Amino acid sequence: MALIFMLLCFLISLGTKSEAAPTYLYHNCTNTTTFTPNSIYQTNLNHLLSVLSSNSSVEFYKATAGQDPSNSVHGLFLCRGDVNTTACRDCVTTATKEVIRRCPVEKQNIIWYDECQLRYSNRSFFGTVDVLPRIALINTANITEPDRFRRILNATVKAAAAEAANGGDKKYATKEAYVSGFQTLYSLVQCTPDLSTADCNRCLVLAIERLYKFSERLGARVLFPSCNVRYELYPFYYNRTSSPSPTMPKGSSKISTGTIVAIVVPIAATLLLFILGFCFLVRRAKQKSNAGKKENAETDMPTKGIEFNQSTRKAMPLAVNEALNTKAKPFDA
């Protein structure tokens, strides 16, 4: 039973393992404007990043540090609409440190991760559509039926964009579409929630136009400061409104409770059967030993009877020892 308890503790610890590190995508440092180290601007920047990091329990947050317009810093972060609080917090915390390391003296910076994005500037950009700087990340493999796929992609991402732009404060949407055989198209679109419905729609239209340039690829994404779009032929996001997809998206390393139960129950049952078998063999050995002793007392055969019974008593424990020393063969994963 102690072995079963230890096994359960080990598997549960696997199930609660910490989230994977955020996946870095790209960054841009606008080096046309820089600040002097240890200046008021840097003090305001450090304060801003601290405020953003401390508010990373929400999916979106914006703030301004500094009263003087010449030294104030404006910044925000946006977590992907499907990631949980822990993943969002980890990503924002990482981004606040990495953006300074990669862009130590630039006043306008942006950094993208798979799970979040963070940007700041010496000018206020809240509520405005920014499409620069931008980056496209593409899968180098090609689609076999590009014309048909392009039609499916067009309808799917446009529907997702309309839902995101009109979806209230979240401004996030995912859409799936059947392609062929076992292939399904997965798409994701998102705007920063400070944009209006019209501005979010305008930003996504521009991003989708650029996405179409890569529509013969198996997957692609376009990242703007104000919005982003992505499609793949595999599930890359968590679906919060339906049952989880069989393939877990990148960045998760947890084992579900169902998986733990599926592993533990067969092992526990096997150990229980082994223990019962062991008890049965021991009991049987004792019964035969007691039977031999009784026969010796009744027939009065002191020498030969003792030798025979000793050999019998040795045989059964040997069988038990062999059973104990036999190692279970591992099953192929």
Residue 214 is classified by DSSP as: G
Establish if 296 belongs to a structural domain.
yes
- pTM score of the predicted model: 0.68
d(CA 98, CA 92): 10
Q: How much is the pLDDT for 329?
A: 28
Q: How much is the pLDDT for 322?
A: 29
Establish if 77 belongs to a structural domain.
yes
Establish if 245 belongs to a structural domain.
no
| Residue that finishes a domain, picked among 121, 153, 174 | 121
Contact 91, 83 (CB under 8 A): yes
Establish if 13 belongs to a structural domain.
no
Q: Which CATH number does the domain housing residue 82 bear? A: 3.30.430.20
Q: How much is the pLDDT for 3?
A: 44
Domain count, the chain: 3
- Structure confidence by residue, pLDDT tens digits, 59-86: 999 999 999 999 999 999 999 999 999 9
Whether residue 117 is found in the same domain as residue 23: yes
Q: How much is the pLDDT for 135?
A: 96
DSSP assignment of 252-312 = --PPPHHHHHHHHHHHHHHHHHHHHHHHHHHHHHHHHHHHHHHHHHHHT-HHHHHHHHHHH
Q: How much is the pLDDT for 301?
A: 33
Whether residue 304 is found in the same domain as residue 217: no
Residue 251 is classified by DSSP as: T
Establish if 274 belongs to a structural domain.
yes
Whether residue 205 is found in the same domain as residue 267: no
Q: How much is the pLDDT for 282?
A: 54
d(CA 65, CA 107): 13
Q: How much is the pLDDT for 94?
A: 98
Query: Between the CA of residue 112 and those of 26, 82, 103, 119, what are the distances in Å?
Result: 5, 16, 13, 9
Q: How much is the pLDDT for 39?
A: 96
183 forms bridges with which residues in the sheet?
Answer: 180
Domain extent, residue 22, equals 18-121
- What is the sign, positive or negative, of the torsion defined by CA atoms of 50, 54, 56, 58? negative
Positions of the chain with pLDDT lower than 50, given as ranges: 1-18, 241-265, 289-333
Whether residue 151 is found in the same domain as residue 204: yes
